[in-house]
Structure 1
Amino acid sequence: MRRRRVAKMARTSRLSGLRNHTIEERRALVTDAIGADDVLAPLIDGGLDAERADRMIEHVVGQIGIPVGIATNFIVNGREVLVPMATEEPSVVAAASNIARMARDRGGFTTSSTAPVMQAQIHVVDLADPHGARLRILEHRDELMALANDQDPKLVEFGGGVRDLIVRIIEREGRRHLVAHLLVDVRDAMGANAVNTMAEAISGRVAELAGGRPLLRILTNKADLRLSRARVVIPAALLGGPEIVENMILAARLAEDDPYRAATHNKGIMNGISAVVLATGNDTRAVEAGAHSHAVQDGHYGSLSRFERSEEGDLVATLELPLAVGLVGGATKTHPAARAAVAVTEVQTAQELAELICAVGLSQNVAAVRALAAEGIQQGHMALHARNVAVAAGAEGTEIDALAAQLVELRAVRADIAERELARLREQS
């Protein structure tokens, strides 16, 4: 197996007051922090021309732009790192950066992960003896694993390949299914193409051994063998004191117990995760499906994260979930902006990228719960949202900040109020 490469480290991720600079100044600060002159170039214009877009998907007629911001202040496993986040939702980048700033007092985020193992399912139907079929397949386990590895010798050369073959019999409401699982270490790939190709290649032999016919041959996005974990300790004083920590823990426990609260709690986690997944050209739908399926334990949908109090009274927040992301293949390699985003993170392996994404998800989660437990989610969120409403109302230049401030003061961030106040602002000028 290859040794894990050591990632480069940004000179600093503590870019204080980044929001107060112009876009051009921010670019210069980020470029200087990571010590690379041209890394941001593809992000400036989106990095995707019509010809390249036409090769990526079918029936192309255009593109849609999503803002890419840089989350600052992150230290992950002792490494200073700047994080690109693609999202249309105000407050996400600022909130993650703010919690990352607080986390620096205790050394930032500590992360770990399992090997990048993906699973492909081979569904066999029309069986006379499912239990006998299961054992016949397992009796030829080595043969089937070798056949699968033959489909991707390059992956095997890089230390990946099939790690196991298991066979499950699923019984529910009188129905019975036999499903063989290929467990494949996909190294720095997301892995869908690799495991799907292997499943297709061995499905005929699996069905022959089982005495049935192969039906489904595809990966599962329930990537519960490819887990990433993040842990952070934040001083109670920085969060607002012991009472705020207590309220945050109580709020998190409700998310553990109540699926209605858990859905929004986990959405906050995914605000951070999906933004980095999208920026780096990875599959947001696969990651989201894996995360939400992992949130179901023993038939109960609950929180993905856990909040506790340390002996010193500080907040200890942890997160563990499947994160199937890659650095090779797909849009991560074909989209120039995605390549630029990966370059900003300076990660060297898919596992390192997944761990970074997990840390961002936890940071965003802590930020949201803190806001709920303290001033309420709307105060900070609506202050940023007010700028969008101001622009939509037709505000330009210096009018935008002036109108946004007026909407927040009125506690009425609405389109009709924005139009009315913009008219008054222009009358006074």
Structure 2
Amino acid sequence: MNNAIAGFSKLSKEEKISWIAKEYFSNPEEAVSIITNYWNSDVKLQKLHDDFIENTITNFYLPLGIAPNFLINGRFKTIPMAIEESSVVAAAANAAKFWSERGGFKATVLNTEKIGQVHFIYKGDALKLQQFFTEKKFRFFVETENITKNMQRRGGGILDIVLNDKTDLLPNYFQLHATFETKDSMGANFINSCLEQFAKTLKSEIAHFEAFSEKEKNIQVVMSILSNYVPNCIVRAEVSCKLEDLADKNIPNPQDFAEKFVRAVQIAEVEPYRAVTHNKGIMNGIDAVVLATGNDFRAVEAGIHAYASKDGKYSSLSHAKIENGIFSFWLEIPLALGTVGGLTSLHPLVKLALEMLENPSAKELMQIVAVAGLAQNFAALRSLTTNGIQEGHMKMHLGNIINQLEASDAERIMILNHFQNNAVSHAAVVEYVHDLRKIKL
């Protein structure tokens, strides 16, 4: 039937669920049961989750896993990771253990500058506009003092504002390009509040600037919004060791391994088809920690992928080299993260995750997240250049297949034993279980 509905947002949660169940499901009772089974039995906690977004009907769970043994700048960290993909947490933990025995990860925050822009249309003399901005720039700082005073007390605030002429890209298009320091908050609300005040100040000051004609005073502010592209909010994560120290049971020939590993990275540097998948592997680690710590993974993804294209072609975020007998592997990425504000003070598991990380500052969290991405990338490339990625991944995925087939406890044991020495694929598991059940009959 799928009819439209008026006033949906005003319905109670139970009424919303009832309407959805009747409208979209062949078995409404089963749908309601599934939805309500994911409610938290703690009514207060469920109310907290309900208020995070609009039209909430239930909770959608992701597993929260733990990757221990990360040695970062000389200190061990246990990293929480929220993700649904098999083998990600195991791969991160494996890479962490590998590098903890070889000096660990080094991480450095290179810059923490964030960006916001007021986009506007001005049909007049560009030189006159620049003269106006030079004379009136201080007003933008003055008229945002009520917004910035608390941030300034924490050592942050507005760093600078510049006027950009973008008329070569779009007729009559100009922008106020502002840079910010937001310390331990991600700062989206702070930045957007400043930008909206900039827009008001711009219109007000232009209206009273005598050098402008009436036509020139009629500017159009199109929008005022932060940018999730933060190329000056950069963190570097790296590992290095002597070539011979790479040796372990899976790397019998360190020289050959290192050369093949570097070549794999170089392919991702020059081939966009490979670079996208290569960088997706990095984001497996990054997104999982960003989610677990209550940060905005969509903003992080958008900014990082834009950064991967900063030279005009999509390329690898990580790099590797062999120099003077030393193997080095590193990445530099933009990360705008927060450890105060938003979900960080509301979501109980986010608070738990941050406490597990010893309540890091935003800079420290940037380092941890970048390291998780590098570890994930190392694990993937090590698998790809040695045994292949499917062997380990499918072993981890085996549990999901077993659950899909609704195997009994006895069947589960037999399946796991069988596939210890046999290649795992969905078809192979289905066939084995089918034969197992035929034998039982």
Regarding TM over 0.5, the answer is: yes
Q: Tell me the distance in 2 between the aligned counterparts of 1:99 and 1:131.
A: 56
Aligned length: 384
Larger deviation, residues 162-171 vs 173-182: 173-182
Q: Tell me the distance in 2 between the aligned counterparts of 1:398 and 1:130.
A: 78
| Residue equivalent to 1:29 | none
- 1:288 maps to which of 301, 306, 323: 301
> Is structure 2 residue 213 aligned with structure 1 residue 213?
no
- 2:432 maps to which of 409, 421, 427: 421
**Could you tell me which amino acid in structure 1 is paired with residue 366 of structure 2?**
A
| Residue equivalent to 2:370 | 358
Larger deviation, residues 233-242 vs 344-353: 233-242
Q: CA RMSD for the aligned pairs?
A: 2.3
Q: How does 1:152-191 map to 2 (within 5 A)?
A: 152-172=148-168, 175-191=171-187
Q: Tell me the distance in 2 between the aligned counterparts of 1:392 and 1:230.
A: 38
C-alpha deviation, 1:312, in angstroms: 2.3
- Deviations, residues 407-428 of structure 1 (Å, cap 9, x unaligned): 57543521x5434322433566
User: Residues 379, 158 of structure 1: CA spacing in aligned structure 2 closer, same or farther, 3 A cutoff?
Assistant: same
| Residue equivalent to 1:107 | 103
Q: Is the 8 A contact 1:116 1:225 kept in 2?
A: yes
> Is structure 2 residue 68 aligned with structure 1 residue 72?
yes
Q: Tell me the distance in 1 between the aligned counterparts of 2:41 and 2:321.
A: 43
Q: Is the 8 A contact 1:255 1:262 kept in 2?
A: yes
Q: Is the 8 A contact 2:395 2:424 kept in 1?
A: no
Report the structure number with the largest CA radius of gyration. Answer: 2
- Deviations, residues 292-326 of structure 1 (Å, cap 9, x unaligned): 0100123111011111114224x311111111111
- Deviations, residues 6-25 of structure 1 (Å, cap 9, x unaligned): xxxxxxxxxxxxxxxxxxxx
**Secondary structure of 1:353's aligned partner:** helix
**Could you tell me which amino acid in structure 2 is paired with residue 181 of structure 1?**
H
- 1:348 maps to which of 345, 360, 381: 360
**Could you tell me which amino acid in structure 2 is paired with residue 332 of structure 1?**
T
**Secondary structure of 1:309's aligned partner:** strand
| Residue equivalent to 1:272 | 285
**Secondary structure of 1:301's aligned partner:** coil
User: Residues 328, 46 of structure 1: CA spacing in aligned structure 2 closer, same or farther, 3 A cutoff?
Assistant: farther
User: Residues 85, 141 of structure 1: CA spacing in aligned structure 2 closer, same or farther, 3 A cutoff?
Assistant: same
> Is structure 2 residue 218 aligned with structure 1 residue 222?
no
**Secondary structure of 1:228's aligned partner:** strand
| Residue equivalent to 1:373 | 385
Larger deviation, residues 249-258 vs 402-411: 402-411
**Secondary structure of 2:316's aligned partner:** coil
User: Residues 112, 388 of structure 1: CA spacing in aligned structure 2 closer, same or farther, 3 A cutoff?
Assistant: same
- Deviations, residues 180-231 of structure 1 (Å, cap 9, x unaligned): 1221110110110000000001112224556422111010000112111111
Q: Is the 8 A contact 1:74 1:81 kept in 2?
A: yes
User: Residues 408, 177 of structure 1: CA spacing in aligned structure 2 closer, same or farther, 3 A cutoff?
Assistant: farther
| Residue equivalent to 2:268 | 255
Q: Is the 8 A contact 1:147 1:201 kept in 2?
A: yes
Q: Is the 8 A contact 1:137 1:209 kept in 2?
A: no
Q: Tell me the distance in 2 between the aligned counterparts of 1:177 and 1:401.
A: 66
Q: Which residues of structure 1 form unaligned runs of 5+?
A: 1-43
| Residue equivalent to 2:58 | 62
- 1:94 maps to which of 78, 90, 93: 90
Q: Tell me the distance in 2 between the aligned counterparts of 1:149 and 1:404.
A: 64
Q: Which residues of structure 2 form unaligned runs of 5+?
A: 1-39, 207-216
TM-score, length-normalised on structure 2?
0.81
